[in-house]
Amino acid sequence: MRSKSHDDAAIRRVVLLGMGGFFAVALAVLAVLLRVYRDPAAATDAGSARPGPVREIAITAGEFTFEPASVEVAPGETVRFVVTNTGAIEHEFRLSTQHAIDAHLAAGHATDDHDTGMQGDDAPDPILIAPGETATFEWTFGDGSDVPDRIACLVPGHYEAGMKGVVEIAR
């Protein structure tokens, strides 16, 4: 048989257990909220130490076009071209300048495939893409006078047939 005081003690224990449960839930909620609010700040801090964001631009290569044939970038912007060859033959994706392309064509495609003809060694190497394949090409566009702002496929005959594009560098 239980005494009244024993029952009171039992009730107090239940109340204390209930309060403990409440605090446990409250702490869990607080932990989640802290995580939610801390993460964006952490991402921002980490972001400032990394290079700027890379924008992806999808390009389709085929016989004998690049689509789109004109893209716009900002000076200093890093772009990752994601080039898919939907054609039946191998194509090249090359960034160059008009004068280098003209020189390459004037030489009858005699220059090395990996020589863009541009001044300096900072010229981008072209990539070759097999039919059905996708390849990426990353480049940071400067704001100097010799920025590669032409897209070309210099597989002999392809540029001449229309495989060319322009990078508009908004200034």
- Residues within the interface to Cu ion (CB under 5 A): 91, 153, 155, 158, 163
Measured distance CA(142)–CA(163) in Å, rounded = 24
Distance (Å, whole) CA 81 – CA 53: 14
How many CB atoms are located within 10 Å of the residue 164 CB? 20
Closest distance between Cu ion and the C-beta of residue 120, in Å? 25
Instruction: Give how far the C-alpha of residue 161 lies from the chain's centroid of Cα atoms, to the nearest Å.
Output: 30
Of the CA atoms within 13 Å of residue 48, those in its CB half-sphere come to 5
Nearest distance from C-beta of residue 31 to Cu ion, angstroms: 56
Closer to Cu ion by CB, 78 or 128: give it: 128
- Between 150 and 158, name the residue whose CB sits nearer to Cu ion: 158
In the complex, the smallest distance separating the C-beta of residue 152 from Cu ion, rounded to whole angstroms, is: 9
Tell me whether residue 152 or residue 169 sits nearer to Cu ion (CB atom). 152
Residue nearer to Cu ion on the CB measure, 17 or 88: 88
**How many angstroms separate the CA atoms of 133 and 135, rounded?**
7
Burial class (CB in 10 A: 0-12, 13-18, 19+), 61: buried
At a CB cut-off of 8 Å and minimum separation 6, what does 114 contact?
Answer: 125, 126
Q: In this structure, what token pair is assigned to residue 156?
A: 């002999």
Computed on alpha carbons and rounded to an integer, the radius of gyration of the chain in Å comes to 31
Question: Shortest gap between Cβ of 158 and Cu ion (angstroms)?
Answer: 3
CB of 44 to Cu ion, least distance (A): 42
Q: For residues 91 and 104, which CB has a smaller minimum distance to Cu ion in the complex?
A: 91
